[in-house]
Amino acid sequence: MKKLGTILSLFKVSDDKEQVATDTLLVDTKGILDDKHYDKNNERAILITASDSYRLVERELGITLPKGYLGENLLVSESPYHLEPGTQLSMGETILEITQGCTLCKHLATLDKRIPKLLKDDRGIFAKVVKGGEITSGEDIYIK
């Protein structure tokens, strides 16, 4: 297995649609337990975003976004955006499978209307859970 990077931060969505930072996520094939989107769309169960996306906004627009603003569940150190759908990632016992690139959400424009266009292809990728388990902040991610 080849190391992709490290998990920098983890987030889940509360019932009032707030991104909540956490040290661990418990996941199963329906998504993230205790997340508002649990069992809604298994193909889009987890959003993985690279720290490069935040740096891009800061460099190009001069805006420092708070981590979690892009709606990610996993903020990772290295970009996974080049990975094809079907690629599997492992972290500990958990296995995720890339399903699709991330679409843009209207809320990204609330802070600055230029953000969605800038992040069109650099916001993140969605993954489904193939094998559930615990995902921990600071853990390494490997390409299977």
Q: Copy the structure tokens of residue 69.
A: 């603003």
Helices and strands of the chain, counted as H and E runs: 2, 11
Q: Copy the structure tokens of residue 9.
A: 């931060």
68 confidence band (pLDDT: 50, 70, 90): very high
- DSSP-derived secondary structure for 11-49: EEE-TTS-EEEESEEEEETTEETT-TTTTT-GGGSEEEE
CA distance 68 to 26: 18
* Residue pLDDT, tens place only, 95-119: 999 999 987 777 888 889 999 999 9
pTM of the model: 0.95
Residue found by looking up tokens 């193939």 in the block: 130
Question: What share of the chain in percent tops pLDDT 70?
Answer: 100
The domain ranges of the chain are 2-143
Q: How would you write 44-58 as a 3-class SS string? A: HCEEEEEHHHHHHHH
* Residue pLDDT, tens place only, 10-58: 999 887 778 899 999 999 999 999 999 999 999 999 999 999 999 999 9
Q: Domain spanning 2-143 has what CATH number?
A: 2.40.33.20
Q: Tell me the C-alpha to C-alpha distance, in Å, between residue 135 and each of 22, 50, 131.
A: 10, 16, 11
CA distance 141 to 144: 9
